[in-house]
Amino acid sequence: MLRDGHIHTPYCPHGSRDSLKSYVEEAINKGFTSMTFTEHAPLPKTFTDPVPDKDSGMEQQLLESYITKIKEIKKEYQKNIDILLGFEVDYIEGHEPGTRTFLNEYGSELDDSILSVHFLKGPSAYHCIDFSPESFLAAVDDFGSIEMLYNTYFATVEKSVSSDLGVYKPERIGHMSLVRKFHQRFPSPDNWDEPVPKLLRQIAEKNYQLDYNAAGFFKSLCQESYPAPHIAEQAVELGIPLIYGSDAHISNAVGQGFNKINQTLIKG
Ligand SMILES: [Zn+2]
Ligand SMILES: [Zn+2]
């Protein structure tokens, strides 16, 4: 089974207006038999989005429409492809109650979701670590060193794994080495992956999956998968299922990078 488990939609405020249909047609044309729409869930009301346009998550008012439209298209194409309904939910340290409330309200509607860390709580502010090289550098400044930023990133992913977000908590961890997005400009510290084995064991114990995300191949300062190749291999050794994700924000990016990942690591 060819599956793309991480796809955005026209409901993404920083994505494209490409129609749901165009994503589905693209997936079918590329031979996929399963796809999950994982729009960025609305951010908790208690949280102020640190990116300039405050457009990291979808609008709360569009939730019902998002769910309805995906259920419709799922039916329309049921003979051709298995379409799953989900969200990419942010784990934001200190804002767990809002996330839990969201999941308790909408979780029963969902087939398949991802839990991602994009925001880190710094000494003086929250930072979006994947927005731009400049915002990454601002985060390094606030943390005091790139080592501290990496440590906080992996500690936050660990908290996302252990956090109680209720019975509908997503069971797939998004792009687990996103902190490497700009590593070709800001080199990762030596031994940056030291926290990884423990983190992977925790993920395995929970029976969670990993998003094997190919978007990094197309970011000029990254050029590798998330998680990085050696982490993907370690994960599989621990029995953690890797689910390929294009992280498409335009329809023709569905399936992107599938030929670049290590396909032998993939589980259906
Ligand atoms: Zn996005
Ligand atoms: Zn993401």
Distance 174 CA to ligand 2 centre (A): 6
Distance 155 CA to ligand 2 centre (A): 17
Q: Thinking of the domain 3-265, which architecture would CATH place it in?
A: Alpha-Beta Barrel (3.20)
pLDDT in tens, 160-186: 999 999 999 999 999 999 999 999 999
Alpha helices in the chain (DSSP H): 20-29, 63-76, 96-106, 133-143, 146-162, 196-205, 229-237
Give the whole-number percent of the chain exceeding pLDDT 90. Answer: 99
Calculate how far, in angstroms, residue 88's C-alpha sits from the geometric centre of ligand 2.
7
d(CA 191, CA 179): 14
CA of 216 to the centre of ligand 2 (A): 11
Q: Please tell me the number of the ligand nearest to residue 175's CA.
A: 2
What is the average per-residue pLDDT within 17-38? 98
Quick check: 35 pLDDT over 60? yes
Ligand 1: centre distance to CA 37 (Å): 12
Query: Cα–Cα distance between 126 and 180 in angstroms, integer?
Result: 18
228 Cα to the center of ligand 2, angstroms: 15
Query: In which band, very low, low, confident or very high, does the pLDDT at 268 lie, cut at 50, 70 and 90?
Result: low
Instruction: Please give the average per-residue pLDDT across 223-248, as a whole number.
Output: 98
- How far is residue 222's CA from residue 175's CA, in Å, rounded to a whole number? 13
Mean pLDDT of 126-154: 98
Find the 130 Cα to ligand 1 centroid distance in Å: 10
For residues 31-50, give the mean pLDDT.
Answer: 98
For ligand 1, the distance from its centroid to the CA atom of residue 12, given in whole angstroms, is 7
Per-residue pLDDT tens over the stretch 64-120: 999 999 999 999 999 999 999 999 999 999 999 999 999 999 999 999 999 999 999
**DSSP letter string, 235-266:** HHHTTPPEEEE--BSSGGGTTTTTTTS-GGGB
Q: How far is the CA of 157 from the centre of ligand 2 (A)?
A: 13
Ligand nearest to the CA of 57: 1
Using pLDDT thresholds of 50, 70 and 90, give the confidence band for residue 25.
Answer: very high
Q: How far is the CA of 122 from the centre of ligand 1 (A)?
A: 22
The predicted-structure confidence for 200-232, as pLDDT tens digits, reads as follows 999 999 999 999 999 999 999 999 999 999 999
- Chain centroid to CA 177: 10
Which pLDDT value is given to residue 255?
A: 98
Q: What is the pLDDT of residues 190-203, one digit of tens each?
A: 999 999 999 999 99
Q: 118 CA distance to ligand 2 centroid (A)?
A: 7
Instruction: Name the percent of the chain lying above pLDDT 70.
Output: 99
* Number of residues in the chain: 268
- Model confidence band, residue 1 (pLDDT cutoffs 50, 70, 90): confident
Q: Residue 145 Cα, ligand 2 centroid: separation in angstroms? A: 24
Q: Which ligand is nearest to the CA of 40?
A: 1
Q: How far is the CA of 7 from the centre of ligand 1 (A)?
A: 9
| Ligand 2 geometric centre to CA of 240 (Å) | 20
Please tell me the distance between residue 173's alpha carbon and the centre of ligand 2 in angstroms. 10
Q: CB 1: neighbour CB atoms within 10 A?
A: 9
